[in-house]
């Protein structure tokens, strides 16, 4: 039987399916509590993130399919930070067309030019502080003229 963390790596983020919930840093811990039972601790990217209900259901479903009785615990503290994203997740975001957040950046980086995930130019401008989801802002590259999302830091 696979260990719980390996199984959780199979759960994609419902809003950004190219990264999984472990890479995203939502899964804080997956501990075995008995032979077939485990407890999965998750932290939402945003306190009002609507995807968390789907993520919890996906966790319960995949764990059951793999022979685990899982309990999901949501912890709001410490608050999630984009620093919890793995380097692999940052690269997957870029390839998918979303400009990944810089490590150690904070919300004061919003509004400043971001690197276009398509052409690599830093010549960009913010179109809207809010993108397709709460965790993203909308930008446009001024060189290739393509719009793109930026995964906001916090």
* Interval 108-142: pLDDT, tens: 667 789 999 999 999 999 999 988 887 889 999 99
Indicate the pTM of the whole model.
0.88
Q: Which of 36, 126, 28, 37 is nearest to 77 (CA)?
A: 28
Domain limit, last residue, from 16, 37, 72 = 72
Q: What pLDDT does residue 14 have?
A: 93
Average pLDDT rounded to a whole number, residues 20-34: 96
Same domain, 114 and 64: no
Instruction: Assess whether 102 and 139 both reside in one domain.
Output: yes
Closest Cα to residue 37, out of 79, 10, 88, 72? Answer: 72
State the Cα–Cα distance between residues 146 and 98, nearest whole angstrom.
Answer: 12
Q: What is the CATH number of the domain that holds 20?
A: 3.30.300.130
Whether 107 and 61 share a structural domain: no
Question: Does 106 have pLDDT greater than 70?
Answer: no
Q: Give the C-alpha separation, 60 to 44, whole Å.
A: 16
Do 68 and 105 lie in a common domain? no
Number of domains, the chain: 2
134 within some domain: yes
Q: Which two tokens stand for residue 123?
A: 């010549």
Answer yes or no: do 23 and 59 share one domain: yes
Residue 10 covered by a domain: yes
Q: What pLDDT digit, counting tens, does each position of 37-93 carry?
A: 999 999 998 878 888 999 999 999 999 999 999 999 999 999 999 999 999 999 999
- 77 found inside a domain: no
User: Which of 72, 107, 132 is at the close of a domain?
Assistant: 72
Within a domain: residue 82? no
Q: What is the pLDDT of residue 55?
A: 96
Q: 129: domain range?
A: 98-149
| Model pLDDT, residue 30 | 96
Q: Which residues contact 74 (CB under 8 A, 6 or more apart)?
A: 41, 42, 43, 44, 52, 56
Radius of gyration of the chain (CA): 17
User: What is d(CA 61, CA 112) in angstroms, rounded to the nearest whole number?
Assistant: 41
In a domain, 20, yes or no: yes
Which is nearest to 125 in space by CA: 148, 141, 149, 137? Answer: 141
């Amino acid at each position: 039987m696979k260990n719980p963390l390996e199984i959780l790596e199979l759960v994609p983020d419902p809003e950004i399916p190219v990264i999984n919930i472990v890479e995203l840093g939502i899964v804080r811990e997956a501990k075995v509590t008995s032979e077939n039972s485990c407890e999965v601790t998750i932290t939402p990217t945003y306190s009002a993130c609507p995807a968390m209900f789907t993520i919890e259901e996906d966790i319960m479903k995949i764990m059951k399919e793999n022979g685990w009785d899982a309990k999901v615990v949501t912890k709001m503290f410490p608050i999630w930070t984009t620093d919890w994203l793995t380097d692999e997740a940052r690269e997957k975001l870029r390839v998918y067309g979303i400009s990944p957040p810089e490590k150690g950046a904070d919300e004061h980086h919003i509004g400043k030019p971001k690197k276009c995930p398509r052409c690599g130019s830093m010549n960009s401008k913010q179109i809207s502080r809010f993108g397709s989801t709460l965790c993203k802002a909308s930008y446009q590259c001024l060189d290739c003229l393509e719009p793109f999302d930026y995964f906001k830091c916090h």
